[in-house]
A = this chain, B = another copy of it.
Amino acid sequence: MAYRNLAKKNARFLGPTAPRKRFIQNPIESTQHNLDTFNSEKNTGRFHVLTDANENNELKKYETDIKGRFDRIIPFLKRISSLQYQQDFVEKAKQLTLSELSLELPDHLIDKAWVRPLDMRALFAWFVFQTHNQTSKEFFNLDPLNGNKDTTKALEFESFLESCGFHLLDLTPCADGRLAHSVAYALRIPFSSVRRRSHAGALFDIERTVNRWVKTEHRRYREGLPNSANSSTRYLKVVTYHFSSVAPSSQGCAAHGSDDSVAAAAGLKRLLEFRQTVENSFCCGASVELLLIGLDTDTDSIRIHVPSSDSNMVLDKWISTLDIYEETYSFSKDIALKTINQRIEESAPGKADLGMIKFISRLIVNNISQIDYVRQLHNGPYPDAGHAERFIGVGIGFKEVHLRNLTYFSHLDTVEEGAPDLDVGIKIFKGLNVSRDLPIPIVVRFDYSGKVPGAKERAISDCKRVNEAISYRYRDLVEEGLLHTFLTIRDRDQPTPAQVVGSSLDPDSQEVH
Q: Known contacts A223-B284, A417-B465; decide if A273 and B217 are in contact (CB<8 Å).
A: no
Q: Known contacts A211-B211, A277-B453, A458-B1; decide if A222 and B221 are in contact (CB<8 Å).
A: yes
Chain A 193-215 residues near chain B, CB threshold 8 A: 206-207, 211, 214-215
Q: Counting CB contacts under 8 A, is A218 at the interface?
A: yes
Which chain B residues lie closer than 8 Å to A218 at the CB level? 214, 217-218, 221
CB–CB A222/B282 < 8 A: yes
Which chain B residues lie closer than 8 Å to A1 at the CB level? 458, 461-462
Q: Counting CB contacts under 8 A, is A454 at the interface?
A: yes
CB–CB A206/B452 < 8 A: yes
Q: Counting CB contacts under 8 A, is A457 at the interface?
A: yes
Return the chain B residue nearest A218 by Cβ. B218
With A and B bound together, what is the CA distance between A284 and B219 in angstroms? 11
Which chain B residues lie closer than 8 Å to A217 at the CB level? 218, 221-222
Q: Counting CB contacts under 8 A, is A469 at the interface?
A: yes
Q: Counting CB contacts under 8 A, is A142 at the interface?
A: no
CB–CB A416/B453 < 8 A: no
Return the chain B residue nearest A457 by Cβ. B4
CB–CB A449/B281 < 8 A: yes
Return the chain B residue nearest A277 by Cβ. B452
Contact string, A469-484, partner B, CB cutoff 8 A, digits 1/0? 1000000000000000
Place the interface of chain A in its size category.
35 or more
Q: Counting CB contacts under 8 A, is A120 at the interface?
A: no
Q: How many copies does the complex hold?
A: 2
Q: Counting CB contacts under 8 A, is A342 at the interface?
A: no
Contact string, A255-282, partner B, CB cutoff 8 A, digits 1/0? 0000000000000000001001100111
Return the chain B residue nearest A270 by Cβ. B454
The smallest beta-carbon distance between A216 and chain B, in angstroms, is: 10
Q: Which among A214, A222, A223, A281 has the greatest number of chain B C-beta atoms within 10 A?
A: A222
With A and B bound together, what is the CA distance between A135 and B59 in angstroms? 65
With A and B bound together, what is the CA distance between A416 and B414 in angstroms? 7
Chain A 1-44 residues near chain B, CB threshold 8 A: 1, 4, 7-8
Q: Counting CB contacts under 8 A, is A286 at the interface?
A: yes
Which chain B residues lie closer than 8 Å to A454 at the CB level? 206, 273
Chain A 272-298 residues near chain B, CB threshold 8 A: 273, 276-277, 280-284, 286
Q: Which among A415, A417, A452 has the greatest number of chain B C-beta atoms within 10 A?
A: A452
Q: Counting CB contacts under 8 A, is A451 at the interface?
A: yes
Chain A 361-415 residues near chain B, CB threshold 8 A: 413-415
Which chain B residues lie closer than 8 Å to A413 at the CB level? 414, 417
With A and B bound together, what is the CA distance between A451 and B283 in angstroms? 12
Q: Known contacts A452-B280, A452-B281, A469-B416; decide if A221 and B223 are in contact (CB<8 Å).
A: no
CB–CB B222/A465 < 8 A: no
Q: Counting CB contacts under 8 A, is A229 at the interface?
A: yes
Return the chain B residue nearest A282 by Cβ. B222
Which chain B residues lie closer than 8 Å to A229 at the CB level? 221
With A and B bound together, what is the CA distance between A4 and B281 in angstroms? 32
Which chain B residues lie closer than 8 Å to A206 at the CB level? 452, 454, 458
With A and B bound together, what is the CA distance between A20 and B7 in angstroms? 40
CB–CB A451/B280 < 8 A: yes
With A and B bound together, what is the CA distance between A457 and B214 in angstroms? 23
Which chain B residues lie closer than 8 Å to A276 at the CB level? 452-453
CB–CB A465/B211 < 8 A: no
The smallest beta-carbon distance between A335 and chain B, in angstroms, is: 44
With A and B bound together, what is the CA distance between A461 and B283 in angstroms? 28
Which chain B residues lie closer than 8 Å to A458 at the CB level? 1, 4, 206-207
Among B7, B451, B462, B465, contact of A281 (Cβ-Cβ < 8 Å):
B451
14 contacts between A and B (CB under 8 A): A1-B462, A4-B458, A214-B218, A217-B218, A217-B222, A218-B221, A221-B221, A222-B282, A222-B284, A273-B453, A277-B453, A281-B451, A414-B416, A416-B465
Per CB-CB distance, the 5 closest pairs between chain A and chain B, nearest first, are A221-B221, A4-B461, A280-B451, A218-B218, A416-B416
11 extra A-B contacts, CB within 8 A, seeds A221-B229, A281-B449, A413-B417 = A8-B461, A206-B458, A211-B211, A214-B218, A222-B282, A276-B453, A277-B452, A280-B451, A280-B453, A413-B414, A417-B465
